Structure 1
Amino acid sequence: MFSMHFALMTIANVIGSLLGGVIADVLQVVFVMPAEVAIRWSLLTGAVVFTIGLLPLFKLRTTVPQIEPNHRESYKPSSDSPNDNLKRNLILIFHFSFASLLIGFGSGLVIPYLNLYFANRFDSSNAFIGLILSLGSAMTAVAMLIGPLLVKRIGKVRALIVFQFLSIPFLMLTAYTTSLTLASIGFLIRQALMNAGNPIQSAVAMEVVADKYKGLANSVNQTVFQLGWATMGPVAAGLVMTFGSYWGYAYTFSITACLYVCSSTYYYFVFGKRKLAEE
């Protein structure tokens, strides 16, 4: 379920990104609109589509399983269900959040500046950069759909670790290559492998955390990831400005690789021994 959700969201992002540019160009050329007006109408179109997407959410309802009166006394929660002890769940949330924080730090060093990386190191055109970023999202969607197949073979935690560790050589290839072709290949494969683990991590979190704390777990996890992302921008910019477009990006990508290794290793030692559903 999580893999399908993330894949559909990624595909929708690809389509939306491409349509946003197409709508703006069509309005500018066909209707002879100024560039800023065409972009404004493109953004308004996206806002309308976003609003329409909210409507099905109002149909969602929380349902509680009904227990027949004659079975209430004999009913017992499954022994596999997560313990709802507050301390236990807060500890689990901390472990998930710390791993996400490390990933957020690493991503914040690299992801926001990928367009500048291709532009500064290879003098790539805007059209090529837009194409390569869209292809990266498309490959991510495919990898997310493949993820469940790997989960069935080796389990959730191991599948997540495999995806993350396999992405690191391609991250290092992107960091040190001077070939646009190799950089593009490295970026695409790293993007797909690293992001393929996101729905698996969400599934693990929702499985081991008790129902009453799942909202808190998701909120904290997202918050610390965004915190890591937000705080590393000045660091990445400083490295590139100090060491230039080659070594500056090489250092930022290398630091990101180290953070990914630390996060994956920590995650494995904390959750690798747990027995999860369907494993």
Structure 2
Amino acid sequence: MNNTVRDLKFKIFQSGNPLFFYIGINVIIFLITSVIGVFIFLGQSGFSMDQFINQYIGLPASISRLPERFYTVLTYMFFHDGILHVLFNMLGLFWFGSIFMNFLNSRQFHFVYLAGGIFGGLFAVAVLNIFPVYSGGLAMVSIVGASAAVNAIIFAAATLVPNYSLMLLFLGEVKIKWIALVYFFLDFLAVGSINAGGSLAHIGGALLGFLFIKSLQSGRDWSKIFEKKPKLRVVKNEKPPVKKQDFKGVSQQEIDSILDKISTSGYDKLTASEKEKLFKASKD
């Protein structure tokens, strides 16, 4: 048991693989909130974990509530409404995230996942507030789930390698471009359903993943905003101090003094000691 926990901890937090990191974080948060929800239910406190998540963690559909819940544009993508919600999101993330990581790097995965979730959420809020048909019940609607972020990964992989195939039960080998298109079509149809906000977030995430790969193929990598810039070092170009030479026990200062005396008074005015020092220096 200890080895299993240690292995999971390593894969999620220390392996450096963003696929395991996001799956782990989503599952851990779901398990924690679910366990707390069970105890709240047993305690009959009248408090609802689902209501708390929708009100304070989920992304509000109403723009008027967004300024005071600005943080939800990030938090909403790590909470889920039920076990099937988190299960299918994590399966999709694992399958298509593995393909993504076979061709791209961790920095790009982080960018597509987070940017897909943020853009998908804001896209959904924008559409819900633009079209009058949705205006009736926006005040109580909020969006939760990693679907927008997962869809960004799915469509990034499908745009990058559209002919890559997966083995599906009863269907056999299917190219991922067809799987992605079916996802998109179902979400488009669901725009007219009670879960229009979630479907619109899925579409927004899909658009982000598609546009990221198209931009990457044209030579622009949006994920470079996550790239660490090297720190600049200031190097002072100072000349090292000149070390005074020592000529067999006679310092440079003494030699300079003797030479000055010769230039002013002549060699004959040197003392026997000064002549000896000059002689020693000349032999160095």
Return the TM-score normalized by structure 2: 0.31
- Relative to its length, the structure with more strand (as a share) is 2
Indicate the structure (1 or 2) with the bigger Cα radius of gyration.
2
- Relative to its length, the structure with more helix (as a share) is 1
